Chain A
Amino acid sequence: MRLVAEGLSCRRGARLLFEGLDLDLPAGRALVVTGPNGTGKSSLLRLLAGLASPAAGTVRLEGAAEPDDFGTEVHYLGHLDAQKASLTARESLGFWRAMLGRPALTVEDALETVGLGGLGGLPVAVLSAGQKRRLALARLLVAERPLWLLDEPTTALDASAQLLFAGLARAHVNRGGLIVAATHAPLDLGPSDTLDLGARRPLNPVAA
């Protein structure tokens, strides 16, 4: 499997965030996207996930059943955790496991893995920010998806959870998965490339 993007341009309102971006990410490799705030890291991930349309260019996942429409091959972890405050952690994770299909770990195993063992019966509302983020990471483990698109995955995580996450990500890459992660934290995701969007900022972003 191979994630290929050609000539991607992204426009937000009148501003051009980047243009002519080419990516080629083979299976078993991670791409770390860096750059200052507002350079288009989140926008790039949304383009890759197919949640937004690029101003120009194409994205495809070679080797997927439908290379041009591969939403079902993607785990997208955005800024928002997609958890409901009034559900328990167990219910929330179980819901996403049923929704996503192609199950991997069980809910209890996934909670145990991200360090939330024994907290499954608590409502999401009473979890701390870091615990909510751990719960969001657990979603990556309960369903099988080759491509992980992660937007600031380690926000609010403590040092040990950051290490834990890096370990999970390396395991995914070693199994032949693909990861594109936007991050400010130095993460060791295994064999990886970096893309600095700050260096690709257009000289004249507002010109038509």
Chain B
Amino acid sequence: MRQAFLALLRRDLALATRAGGGAGLGVVFFLAVVVVTPFAIGPDLALLARIGPAILWIGALLASLIGLDRLFAADAEDGSMDLFALLDLPLELIAAAKGLAHWIATGLPLVVAAPVLSLLLNLEPAAIGALTLTLLVGTPAITFLGLVGAAFASAFRRGGLLVAVLVMPLTIPVLIFGVAATGAALGGTVPFGMPFRVLAGLSLAALVLGPVAAAAALRATRE
């Protein structure tokens, strides 16, 4: 079973990083959002530093949703999903392997890019550190909550917008505590650890519940 899990993880990573895989798409989108923002806001460095963490988090949230609609849909369309349903490996672990591969291919690059992009928004070193840490902990939550939407999208043709509509409300708490933790690191009424622990808790819950809910959705939508 572990062999199958790793095989699926490896295959999805290979597919994501090859031509047409879309692994770099999220980072490019993230880059576009963050680079455009200073032009829109104007050269007020204090204002940029204050809203910087929020801009980076919104960019990362939206970038994490890119490509989720194809996550299961591609396998449903080429018949792979039929074979997955017949395996020893439960659908929950199949969803988890695909989610993990998706996060490594699209979420992790966002975390790596965040410190560089933070410089564009005039963030202090402490804020850059806190932001990167919150993204590292928070983006898996977005991806794994997104699995549920991805599973539903596979049942409908052109389910792209559906993912955003279904998943976005679920990710709001992640966004709130991610930005709150970054703000707390810059000083404030609460210490950094408090919102950060809530964020970590949300992430751990999503890691467990996301694949289970996605597998249930895949079973429910199978004709």
Total interface residues on B, CB under 8 Å, equals 28
Task: Report the separation of the CA atoms of residues A96 and B82 in the bound assembly, to the nearest whole angstrom.
Answer: 13
Contact partner of B14 (CB less than 8 A), chosen from A52, A83, A87, A100, is A87
B78–A74 CB distance below 8 A: no
Q: How far is the CB of A74 from chain B (nearest CB, A)?
A: 6
Of the candidates A71, A87, A94, A99, the one having the most CB atoms from chain B within 10 angstroms of its own CB is A99
CB A140 to nearest CB in B, in angstroms, measures: 12
Interface residues of B in 18-32 (CB under 8 A from A): 18-21
Binds A, one of B1-9, B40-48, B144-152: B1-9
Q: Are A71 and B86 in contact (CB under 8 A)?
A: yes
* Cβ A99 vs Cβ B4 within 8 A: yes
Residues 89-103 of chain A: 1 if any B CB is under 8 Å from the residue's CB, otherwise 0? 001001110111100
Residue of B nearest to A79 (CB): B79
> Which of A81, A87, A95 is in CB contact (< 8 Å) with B79?
A81
Tell me whether B83 and A96 are in contact (CB under 8 A). Answer: yes
Complex Cα spacing A74 to B223, Å: 19
Given A98-B4, A101-B4, does the pair A84, B15 have CB atoms closer than 8 Å?
Answer: yes
A78 close to chain B: CB less than 8 A: yes
Report B222 CB to chain A, min CB distance, Å: 7
Cβ contacts under 8 Å, A74 to chain B = 86
- Does residue B11 face the partner (Cβ distance < 8 Å to A)? yes
Residue A198 at the chain B interface, CB threshold 8 Å = no
Q: How far is the CB of A53 from chain B (nearest CB, A)?
A: 9
A interface residues, how many (CB within 8 angstroms): 25
Partner of B82, one of A76, A98, A100: A76
- Is A50 part of the contact surface with B, judged by Cβ < 8 Å? yes
Q: Note all chain B residues with C-beta closer than 8 A to A192.
A: none
B89 at the interface (CB under 8 A from A): yes
Residues in chain A near residue B20, CB distance under 8 A = 86
Per the bound structure, the CA–CA distance linking A116 and B192 in Å amounts to: 59
Q: Is the pair B11, A100 in contact by a Cβ cutoff of 8 Å?
A: no
Residue-wise interface mask of A (45-87) relative to B, using a CB-CB cutoff of 8 A (1 in contact, 0 not): 0000111100000000000000000011010101111111011
Q: Are B86 and A80 in contact (CB-based, < 8 A)?
A: no
The answer to whether B78 and A72 have CB atoms under 8 Å apart is no
Q: Are A95 and B82 in contact (CB under 8 A)?
A: no
- For B19, B83, B87, B88, the residue with the greatest tally of chain A CB atoms inside 10 Å of its CB is B83
Residue-by-residue, is B139-161 near A (CB-CB < 8 Å gives 1, otherwise 0)? 00000000000000000000000
**B223→A100 contact, CB < 8 A:** no
Q: Any chain A CB within 8 A of the CB of B85?
A: yes
Q: Chain A: residues with CB nearer than 8 A to chain B?
A: 49-52, 71-72, 74, 76, 78-84, 86-87, 91, 94-96, 98-101
Query: Can you report 22 residue pairs joining A to B where beta carbons are below 8 Å apart?
Result: A50-B86, A51-B82, A51-B85, A51-B222, A52-B222, A81-B79, A82-B79, A82-B80, A82-B83, A84-B80, A86-B14, A86-B15, A87-B14, A87-B15, A95-B7, A95-B11, A98-B3, A98-B7, A99-B87, A100-B87, A101-B1, A101-B3
Q: Which residues from chain B sit less than 8 Å from chain A, CB to CB? A: 1, 3-4, 6-8, 10-11, 14-15, 18-21, 77-80, 82-89, 222-223
Closest 8 CB pairs of A and B: A80-B79, A98-B7, A71-B86, A82-B79, A86-B18, A82-B80, A99-B4, A95-B11
